[in-house]
Structures are given as structure tokens and as C-alpha cells.
Amino acid sequence: MKSNMMQEALQVKTETVKLFPKDANAHNNLAFTLLALKQYTQAANSARRALMLNPSHAAAKANEAKAIALMKPAGVMRF
């Protein structure tokens, strides 16, 4: 059930960004949801969009840093 709620949240946040493309909070909220879904590259990109709109957005800075920290380096295999 939690997964369904997160997917629904993702749909809502994605639609919000489409409706309000210049809203830094909307992009950051999408980044937060993507982090929860472990979609780190997309989360970092959404946080960066928020920062382009509002460079002093503290939560977006934190979400970008967290997403980058959680990304697996390309080409590294985990066993």
C-alpha cells in the first residue's frame, strides 16, 4: 500500500511541476518524493531545477546533496 501511495504522490508532484514550472518548491517537492522512491538521478535533477529557480533554497540544496551521495558510481558492480 505504501508503494501505491508513493506512486500516487509522484504523479501529483509531477503534475504540479507541469502546472507550475517556475515554482522552486514544486521542483523540490518532486525531488523529495523521488528520493523516497530511490530515483536518485531524477531527484538530483529536480533539486537542481529548484536551485536554478531559487539558488538559496536550503531544502533543495539538501535534497541535491543527499541524492548525489546515494547515487551508485557508474561502472561499479556490487556483489
| Domain annotation covers residue 28 | yes
In the chain, the number of structural domains is: 1
pLDDT tens sequence across 13-40: 999 999 999 999 999 999 999 999 999 9
| Domain annotation covers residue 44 | yes
> Does the pLDDT at position 51 exceed 60?
yes
DSSP the chain: -HHHHHHHHHHHHHHHHHH-TT-HHHHHHHHHHHHHTT-HHHHHHHHHHHHHH-TT-HHHHHHHHHHHHHSPPTT----
| Domain annotation covers residue 38 | yes
Is the pTM higher than 0.85?
Answer: yes
The enclosing domain of 47 has a CATH number of 1.25.40.10
What range defines the domain where residue 29 resides? 2-70
| Domain annotation covers residue 77 | no
